[in-house]
A and B are shown apart, each in its own frame.
Chain A
């Protein structure tokens, strides 16, 4: 079946550093791709998405580009803040023959220090 692989964390950065969290996927079709963020004590929030190859999703300074040739959807941010400390999940949408479901990666914890 479809799957998502994320880089293991934790990722520890200083404020204003550049962030990359790698995500690759395997899928039989052309799924939609998502990044979700989970802040401490909260549920998952949709951060950005891309629905087809070469699409770039962006939100709150974060970006990710749907790369079909490398089956990747890496998350980037040019200058992280302490408030970006959270767990980030990459996911793809799978059509399960009658309904949609999301396949999630294991999550990558980001810690940003002042």
Chain B
């Protein structure tokens, strides 16, 4: 599945580092999402971008900063993270077309470890 790609696939960073996660979708969709998946919690929706505008910030700490420069690219900038931020970060995209509802397509994820 190459519709949604994420880089890097694995990342180890110290608590004082700054890094960025990248997501790119090749499906022509107009909405993109960041999720956090950890062993102890269900999938957590972090951010939603629709038509390149952030429409949801699900009470995410400010050490996570999203950026959506165009409809195909989504970034998650990370700084001064905590060990509990270690998780799989998933990007997804969908075609947002009103109230009928559309499936989301996911990337393979970035496995983040904070040391």
Contacts and interface: CB of A to CB of B under 8 A. Distances in A.
Contact of B104 (A42, A95, A98, A102): A102
B1 interface: yes
A75 B48 CA distance: 28
A43 B101 CA distance: 21
B96 A45 contact: no
B102 A100 contact: yes
A91 B42 CA distance: 12
A51 B48 contact: no
A77 interface: no
Helix, strand, loop or mixed for chain B's interface? Answer: strand
Contacts of B1: 45
Interface residues of A, number: 24
Nearest to A107: B42
Contacts of B109: 42-43
By size class, the interface of chain B is 20 to 34
A49 B103 contact: yes
B109 to A, nearest CB: 5
B21 interface: no
A17 interface: no
Nearest to B90: A43
Contact of B50 (A44, A89, A99, A107): A99
Contact of B43 (A31, A32, A49, A89): A89
Contacts of A99: 31, 48, 50, 55-56, 96
16 contacts: A36-B106, A43-B106, A45-B106, A46-B103, A51-B101, A89-B43, A96-B48, A96-B55, A98-B55, A99-B55, A99-B96, A100-B31, A101-B33, A104-B43, A106-B42, A107-B43
